Amino acid sequence: MPTVDLYNTNHEVVGQLNLKDEIFAVPVNTHVLHQVVLYQLAKRRAGTAKVKGRSEVAGGGRKPWRQKGSGRARAGTSRSPLWRGGGTIHGPQPRSYEIKLPKKVRKLALKMALTQKLLDQELKVLDELALERIKTKDFAAVLDRMQLDKTLVVIPAQNEKVEKSARNLPRVKVLRSEGLNVYDLLNYHDVLMTRETIDKIEESLGS
C-alpha cells in the first residue's frame, strides 16, 4: 500500500496517509493516457467553422454573359468558386470532433495519471487548506512554502477563499475533486491535494 507524507501549510510533516492500491498503484500505460488526452482536447473543439458554398453566396442568379460569341469562357454564375466573391469548394462545415472512448478507459487513465504523479513525487497532500481571507498573496505564500511552481490544486468542494485567491496566479489552477481530469494532471508539474480530497477521489474511483 503506497503512503504519502501529510503536510501542514508551513510545509511541516504532520503524519502519513495510506493510499489505495487500486487507485495510486496501477500499471501505467502511456498509450491509454495519450488516448484520453486526445479525447479531452477533441471534446473542447467547438467545430463551428463554416464557409459558404456556391449555392449559399448571395447574388449570381443571372448568367454573366451569353453562352457563345463573346470569346470568353462559358460562365453560368458570378458566384462560381473560380470567381472572386464566389463560393468555397470543400470548405469547413459545422461538425463534432468528439472521439468515442469507454468510461472504463477514462476512469483507468485517471488512476494511471494519479499513480504517475505519486511515482514522480509530484503529489503533495495537505492536512487542511484553510485561508482566513480572500488574498492572492496569502495563497501564493502557501505555495512558496510548499516549494511548488506550476501547480494543480485539487479541493474537495467549493471553497470561495481558495478559488478566488488563486485565480490571479498565472501558473496555478484550482479544481474541485469532481472535475479532476487526466489532461490537467499531466499538464501541471505539481499536484496539491488535501486529505479530504484524497478521500473523495478514492470514494469516486474505487466504486
Domain spans of the chain? 3-29+101-206
Q: pLDDT category, 34, cuts 50, 70, 90? A: very high
Q: What count of residues does the chain have?
A: 207
pLDDT tens digits, one per residue of 89-129: 999 999 999 999 999 999 999 999 999 999 999 999 999 99
On whether the CB atoms of residues 189 and 151 are closer than 8 A, the answer is yes
Q: pLDDT category, 207, cuts 50, 70, 90? A: low
Distance CA 88, CA 81 (A): 6
Cell of 160: 470561495
- Specify the pLDDT at position 60: 84
- Burial pattern 132-143, b for ≥16 Cβ within 10 A else e, equals eeeeeeebeebb
Nearest to 2 by CA among 26, 20, 15, 14: 20
Nearest to 108 by CA among 185, 19, 32, 21: 32
Segment 174-195 shows an average pLDDT of 95
Distance CA 155, CA 152 (A): 10
Cell of 67: 453562352
Cell of 152: 494543480
Segment 142-167 shows an average pLDDT of 93
- Specify the pLDDT at position 19: 93
Distance CA 195, CA 9 (A): 13
Segment 15-29 shows an average pLDDT of 93
Segment 124-153 shows an average pLDDT of 93
Residues facing 173 on adjacent strands: 152
Res. 5: pLDDT tops 70 = yes
Nearest to 148 by CA among 14, 9, 19, 23: 9
Residues 6+ apart with CB under 8 A from 183: 36, 37, 40, 41
- Specify the pLDDT at position 130: 87
Percent of the chain surpassing pLDDT 90 = 91
- CATH pick for 3-29+101-206 out of 3.40.1370.10, 3.30.300.30, 3.90.1010.10, 3.10.20.30: 3.40.1370.10
- Specify the pLDDT at position 56: 92
- Specify the pLDDT at position 187: 95
Question: What one-character-per-residue DSSP string does 92-105 give?
Answer: ------PPP--HHH
CA angle 10, 16, 17 (to 5 degrees): 115
Taking the alpha carbons of 186, 189, 192, 198 in that order, is the dihedral positive or negative? positive
CA angle 128, 135, 187 (to 5 degrees): 65
